[in-house]
Amino acid sequence: MTRKNSSCKTRTLVWKCCGRNAALFTLSLILQLVAMPVSMILSIQGQLQNMDLSNEEERNFVREQIHGLLYEGQIGMLVLAGLAVLCGIAMFRYLHVKQQTDFFHALPVSRGQLFASHVLTGVLTVVPAYVLSMALSCGVCVAYGFADIVQMDVLLLSMAVHLAGFLLVYAVTILAAICCGNTLVSLLVCGWFQFGLWAGCEAVDALIYVLYPARAYGNAGMPVWLSPFLWTMSAVNPLAADWSEKTVHYVKDCFPGMLLSLAAAAVILALAYWLNHIRKSEYTGLSLAFPKLEQPLKLYVVSTVAISCGIMIQSTVISWTVMFVSMAVTALITACVVEIVYHQDFGSLFYRWKSLLVYGVICAVVLGCMAQDITGWNSSLPERDAIVSAGISSDLEEWDYMPHEAVTEDDIIYSGTDTMYYPLYNLYDDLIGMEEENKENYIDYWDGSLLESQEALDAMYQSASIGAEAMKGDRSRLQTAPEQWGYTVTFILKNGKTFRRQYYMPSDSEELAQYGAAVRFSEEYQKAYTPAAFARANRDRVSRMMVMNYGDVARYSADEIKNPRTISDILDTLYEESQELTQEYCAEHMPVLALRVAGQEETWVQSDLTDLSMRGRDLDDLIDIPVYACETDTLELLKENITDFHTGFTMEEIAQMEITTYTEDYHEKKATLRATEPTEAKTMQKWLPYVIPQEFDVLIDPVYYHRKSDHEYVEAHVAVRMKDGAEADCYCYRNVEEMG
């Protein structure tokens, strides 16, 4: 009987609460009708005006747009999140008015019933209107002839994801409303609960990156799970997939996130229920209904705002001194503002100043220790004898050791000058321990791609030593100084753990370039990691070989070899001869041919196979290998299997060359050489051995990069015009004065 009466009371309370909030029901219905069916109509009408639905490709494009509006529904999700905040504050606003609090608490009902009735009313305000708007949106799709897009299983999953996100934001808003005794403050605290933890972690992450530039980052996404609102908005992203995808795709990508949202909402609601139960009525009207929260919340807000402001200042002026001063000033101002909000009195600016002073001293000591790097984290290295394998990755190819089959830097690590823009995205790695120093088993990306020979290890250790030494001084400008480049060092130690650091050095550090060359010309690298070695190791996946000389590149053409046995013989011969290449030879000579080895893909188009500037394919599909004049046996095999064989440029096919050089003050100097003029033809013949098409330059593996250390990387740009009208843009690395 008691349970029945309790149930009746709850239903009555919900009914009465709904009646008092009729305006909120109306607002919710209007907003959701505008967000879903009305916006769907407007979008479809706009698409139909610009698309021809009789064209299947354009019709599929329209389908994808409608699919995204119906299932992903970012606008609808944004409206749901806004209604969640509005309903959460409105339902528990009675806790912020003394008369209403006394009235509701005087009713012969428990606080639990009051809590449940107000929570349910907020849900009823939104959910029925949402279901109706989705039903009308489906009707719009059917009316416009897109009934095939409406898939009930996907639709139900989409609605479940949206409503789970709504409940999560709603629960956080209720928690904020209960923690506060003032409506305006509850809105501020709600915003902080929605974004504060995420913002604080990101600010600390950015500060650590600035003070510890040797810290290396993995490629993780932003930790949006720290922010209920951001998590909710990102949870619907997988629903934007192609309209023809199967339901299992959505379930796999969306269902775990939906369950986590529901679980988090349940936990937060349970916490809100408990706080509502112990909340003292006499604290109504105060900024916070739980005064013990004031100090820790204040210090967290002060820390987050101060660090964020300091980081923004640092990114502008590049000065640690200014950054620390701006942090101190911002912290003081923020503390004053928070105290004004807490006490709703401008005379309380410096309330609790002693605790703030103590906290400031502690922070100053911690920041000072980090700035001075008293632990040596930036500049410490493991013992050389403890290293069993290593690798170096850099955007500057002269320093780089990147095995041919290894994934790119973007998949492993952010390196180079652009790393200053990425630190805010990687705290998640730290929280789960993936980037801890010497963390075990965090080298999966590099498995099979690290070198172990003493020659290579010595060179890479010396490169790391140069970076570690640079970290001992002022590190404030390392990432942002002009012409600075980053390189990431990975060491695997005898104990099976990993040591990773990122260092910054000027791009003209010849010593690093020499160590990089030593690694790339080491016997171990030559045997396993050059393009020739990798192509030979994967010969079973090769379907064809394209042979391109300088003239072929200019014409976007190539000779093709398809015989598997011939390809295998060429790869074997080239591999054996490539082992004899030396750094000295490659510095003085350029490749005379390019081989493009293609995988088994059936959808190749001609430009994929003949345009050497086309990149972005997996290395299993396309491998480009330079061939040098000293690899005579390989050249003989190629000559036997293609019809038009010649190496480099020949005088017989060249009509003229236009040479562009630059003076010390960067003024252009141009000269044109014509084959029909005997004197100019003689000069042209002197230039030809040192002219290489730009496409060759881009695709040559760093192991073979042609560079003279005593002059500029590119001495001249040369436009070569063939007698048949084809043109090739080329580079020349030879000293122009020597060329005449």
Report CA-CA distances (Å) from 132 to 84, 89, 258. 17, 24, 21
* 34-43, 47-56, 169-178 — most confident range: 169-178
Question: How many CA within 13 A on the CB side of residue 694?
Answer: 12
Residues 412-441: pLDDT tens digits?
Answer: 332 232 333 333 333 333 333 333 333 333
What mean pLDDT do residues 613-633 have? 73
| pLDDT score for 401 | 72
pLDDT band at 719 (very low <50, low <70, confident <90, very high): very high
Alpha-carbon span 568 to 108, nearest angstrom: 89
pLDDT in tens, 189-214: 999 999 988 888 888 888 888 888 88
Q: Record the pTM.
A: 0.72
Q: How confident is the model at residue 410 (pLDDT cuts 50, 70, 90)?
A: very low
Q: Give residue 87's pLDDT.
A: 94
Tens digit of each residue's pLDDT (9 = 90 or more) over 651-679:
888 999 999 887 777 778 888 999 999 88
More confident residue, 567 or 433: 567
Q: Hey, what are 388's tokens?
A: 């069993």
Give 475-502 pLDDT, tens digit per residue: 777 766 767 888 888 899 988 888 888 8
The pLDDT, as a whole number, for residue 215 is: 77
Q: Give Cα separations from 352 to 170, 290, 295, 358 (angstroms).
A: 33, 17, 9, 10
The rounded Cα 626 to chain-centroid distance in angstroms is 32
Amino acid type, 302: V
So where are the chain's domains?
A: 2-195+225-285, 294-372, 384-522, 528-641, 654-739
Tokens of 648: 């480099």
Instruction: Put residue 352 in one of left, alpha, beta given phi > 0 → left and psi -120 to 50 → alpha.
Output: left
- Helix-helix angle 183-211:294-317, to 10 degrees: 50
